[in-house]
Structure formats: C-alpha cells, structure tokens
C-alpha cells in the first residue's frame, strides 16, 4: 500500500471520530479525503529526496510553513475541514480551548500512537507536533473569511 492510500484510508477512519463532536463535513472534507493522499503519491513521483542536510533542512522549513499556511487557508475558506482538522475544529468548539492547544494535543497523541506502532520520532516529527497548532492559529488570523455573526 502506498503512503497516499494509507493516508486516504486513515482519513476515512478519523472521520468516524467526528460523530461525538457533531462536526459536519463539507465539500472540502470530501476533497481532502480523496486528494491529499493521491497528491502525496503523485508528488513522490516527481520530488526526489534531498541529498544533503542543508537541502533536507530547506525542504523541511518550506514544508512546515506551506503545511500550516495551507491548512489555515482552506480552513479559513469554510468549505469543510479535513479529517484531523475537523477533530480540531470540533474539539475547539466543544472545549472552548484555543486552536493552538487543541491541535498540539491532537498532534502529540498522533505522534505517540505512531511511536507505539513502531514509527520513528525524530526532532522534525516532534517539531511538527509542537509547531502545527500555534502556526495554524497565527495564519488563521489572516486567512479566515469573516461572516456575519462571527466574534471579532
């Protein structure tokens, strides 16, 4: 099974966790489930692994900013959250806690499960888990479409 297919199938399972949060899917939710893993597999055909540590660091830094900014952009468009983002938005709504805190807890739980299942947890993995929530929250300040009735 490819990374992309594993991602898409995992997304479907994570959507089941939305039920107790009463989170509703949108067009963006379905497109996320179909396209994220597919895009990852396609990108793997064209992007070759970086050869030097400097290239790895550059790819990582650019990827972290792109990931968190893109997350904030599509959440801000309000067309429906992706599976893990829906867990975040539902938990933010239910708990009243800030995005950075809820997302960090989700990422640390996912990291821990991956480690228990035998995955490698390196510095980069830990940094993503700790930085994803705060960066998404910061970018959302600039990317969220404001609608009537929104709190300012």
Q: pLDDT tens-digit profile of 47-60?
A: 888 999 999 999 99
**pLDDT at site 145:** 83
Position 152 confidence tier, pLDDT thresholds 50, 70, 90: low
pLDDT tens string 102-134? 999 999 999 999 999 999 999 999 999 999 999
In this model, does residue 101 exceed pLDDT 70? yes
pLDDT of residue 151: 65
Which CB contacts under 8 angstroms, 24+ apart, belong to 14-17?
Answer: 14/83, 14/84, 14/86, 14/87, 15/83, 15/86, 17/87
Q: SS3 for 148?
A: coil
Give the integer Cα–Cα distance in Å for 91 and 73.
19
Question: Which pLDDT score is estimated for 108?
Answer: 96
Q: Look at residue 105 in the predicted model and tell me its pLDDT.
A: 96
pLDDT digits (tens, 9 = 90+) for 12-63: 999 999 999 999 999 989 999 999 999 999 999 998 889 999 999 999 999 9
């Amino acid at each position: 099974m490819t990374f992309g297919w594993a991602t898409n199938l995992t997304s479907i399972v994570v959507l089941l966790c939305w039920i107790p949060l009463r989170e509703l899917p949108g067009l963006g939710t379905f497109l996320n489930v179909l396209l994220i893993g597919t895009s990852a597999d396609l990108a793997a055909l064209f992007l070759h692994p970086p050869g030097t540590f400097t290239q790895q660091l550059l790819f990582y830094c650019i990827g972290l900013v792109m990931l968190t900014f893109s997350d904030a952009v599509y959440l801000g468009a309000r067309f429906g959250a992706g599976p893990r983002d829906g867990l975040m938005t539902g938990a933010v709504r239910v708990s009243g806690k800030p995005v950075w805190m809820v997302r960090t807890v989700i990422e640390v739980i996912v990291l821990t499960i991956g480690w228990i299942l035998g995955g490698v947890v390196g510095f980069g993995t830990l940094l993503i888990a700790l930085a994803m929530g705060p960066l998404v929250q910061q970018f959302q300040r600039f990317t969220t479409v404001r609608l009537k009735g929104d709190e300012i």
